[in-house]
Structure 1
Amino acid sequence: MPIGEEVELRGPTGDIIYQGHGKFSIYGEEKKFKRVSLVLGGTGLTPGYSLIARVCLTPNDKTELKVIDANKGGGDIVLRLNREDSRKGAKGLKGHVTEDIIHDHLFPPIEDNMVLLCGPPTMIQKAVVPRLEKWGYSHDKNMFGL
């Protein structure tokens, strides 16, 4: 990049803050969930990873997590070493995020469950959100963007 060129950056907004033990501050409103699904794409794994680490490293945090991490190809996978060392039973699937993948790998849209989304806008808005809404999730109730 040439000297003097301008770059526009956007930092963490703090709209969604995990307070521990299933408690969140979401757009300034306190919410609590027992089970959290995450649908992450590409570098969207980064904020999701922060939540995963916080839950796993907080003593006695009983929050349950399920994660779909979607990437264009194996070379795009971030934090590969950590995921290879993760719990046994994790499956690597190929293809787009389909309705079946969502139903098979996320918690269902019931009262104590939420889903957090972070990834490329096209993937989230065109592939993931419509399928989650069809299943029963709704914006600002139990479906939020990171």
Structure 2
Amino acid sequence: MDTVKQLVVKSGLVDVKYLNTPEGEMYLQIAVASVAVGIALALYLATAAKSEPKKILETPELTLSTTEAHAMLPTITDWHRMKLVDKTALSHNTNLYVFEIPRPTGHVKGIHPEPVLGLPIGQHISVSAEIDGKNIVRSYTPTTLDGEDPGRFHLLVKAYEQGNISRYLSLLTVGQEVKVKGPKGKFVYNRDLADHFLMIAGGTGITPMYQIIKASLADEEDKTQMRLIYANVNEDDILLRKELDDLQARSNGRFQVYYVLNNAPAGWTGGQGFITHEMIKSHMPAGGVGSKGKVLMCGPPPMMNAMKGHLDGLGYPKPNTISKLDDQVFLF
């Protein structure tokens, strides 16, 4: 206390006679307490300045593998913006769209593998767009498998005059984006799912079949037999024809395609008119309906309704309103 009294006297702020009174003693006590508080505060601030600031909310950092490609579609609730990088007309109303898969934060080209959709074989994606003030969503199956075109995926879409998303896509120019999410669907392919697939497709309904066929033939341990009946109006409407013919040629007999045309040209050796009961019967599994075979169908609703009638007449069970993986007749 004497040291504090000497400092106060030297400052000249208080008379020495006042400090020797009871009031002066109280003044000194208050001064000592104030100095102690100031020192404690200074020490606290100095310590806090040296320590790392605390994070109230910590966001886990994304760890990217240098061997495994990052999948961009982990859940059905995530929307991702995908940029159109190429667009090729395949017919008067059908385009092949190539979209770039966005690289995740931290991705280094040349070190990390290019990202993939992460879409199970047989499932599809949802594409969303705002049209006339309404949010419209449609489902499409990419024609590429993960990693087939590194960092990108392909969509094959036929534009209809009354179609919402298909027409929207047809008006897109390179550089524009669409919103995509997935995976979606009840069908997930694996090599032990069936001994034989009878596939019936019309128009762009070929896309899920094409994806499954490619995946199956790429698996050396897969022994599944696949027969495809593919219907279109005109010969020029046959989508992926070269690719399907190439797959058939190198399948060692595991895959066969039978084309059917409403308007068959002269010399046409495939099916003519609409797909018939007899056409389906000739491509059924050798063991018949009771064998371990599945029927997969995708195409325009009128065509699918007609196919249901043909299958029923052959003894196949009627497909459920919403198909499930264990159904013998699955409608995409």
TM-score (norm 2): 0.37
**Structure 1 residue 75, shift from structure 2 partner:** 1.6
Residue-by-residue CA offset, 1:122-142 (whole Å, 9 max, x unaligned): 0011x2111101101112541
In structure 2, C-alpha distance between the alignment counterparts of 1:94 and 1:52, rounded to whole Å:
24
Cα pair 2:199 2:229 within 8 Å, conserved: yes
Cα deviations by residue, 1:24-83 (Å, 9 ceiling, x for unpaired): xxxxxxxxx211110011000001101111111112101111110111111211001113
SS in 2 for 1:16: coil
Q: Letter of the aligned partner of 1:72 in structure 2?
A: V
Paired residues of 2:230 and 2:257 also in contact (CA < 8 A):
no
Classify 1:10/1:93 alpha carbon distance in 2 versus 1 (closer, same or farther; 3 Å): same
The aligned residue for residue 224 of structure 2 is 63
Rounded to whole Å, the distance in 2 between the matches of 1:90 and 1:120 is: 19
CA distance in 2, matches of 1:39, 1:61: 21
Q: 2:234 aligns with which of 73, 87, 94?
A: 73
Task: Name the counterpart of 2:192.
Answer: 22
AA in 2 matched with 1:21: R
Residue equivalent to 2:281: 103
Equivalent residue letter for 2:139 = G
1:1-146 correspondence runs (5 A): 5=132, 6=134, 8-11=136-139, 13-18=184-189, 20-23=190-193, 33-85=194-246, 86-87=248-249, 91=258, 92-107=270-285, 108-125=288-305, 127-138=306-317, 139=319, 141-146=327-332
Q: Distance in 2 between matches of 1:99 and 1:4?
A: 41
The range that moved more, 42-51 or 134-143, is: 134-143
Distance of 2:196 and 2:131 partners within structure 1: 47
Cα deviation for residue 90 of structure 1 reads 5.2
SS in structure 1 of the partner of residue 138 of structure 2 = coil
Secondary structure class of the residue paired with 1:10: strand
Supply the distance in 2 between the matched residues of 1:90 and 1:145 (Cα, whole angstroms): 19
Count of residue pairs brought into register by the alignment:
133
1:22 maps to amino acid: D
Task: Tell me which amino acid in the other structure corresponds to 2:187.
Answer: I
- Show structure 2 runs of 5+ residues with no match: 1-129, 141-183, 259-269, 321-326
> In structure 2, do the counterparts of structure 1 residues 99 and 11 end up closer, same or farther at CA, with 3 Å as the change threshold?
same
> Tell me, which stretches of 5 or more residues in structure 1 are unaligned?
24-32
Cα contact 1:109–1:142 (8 A) shared by 2: no
TM-score, L = length of structure 1: 0.80
Q: Larger Cα Rg: Structure 1 or Structure 2? A: 2
Q: Cα 1:65–1:90, aligned 2, differ >3 Å: closer, same or farther?
A: closer
CA RMSD in angstroms, aligned pairs only: 2.2
Q: Structure 1 vs Structure 2: percent identity of aligned residues?
A: 29
Aligned-pair CA distance for 1:95 = 1.4
Identify the structure with bigger relative contact order (alpha carbons < 8 Å, sequence gap 6+). 1
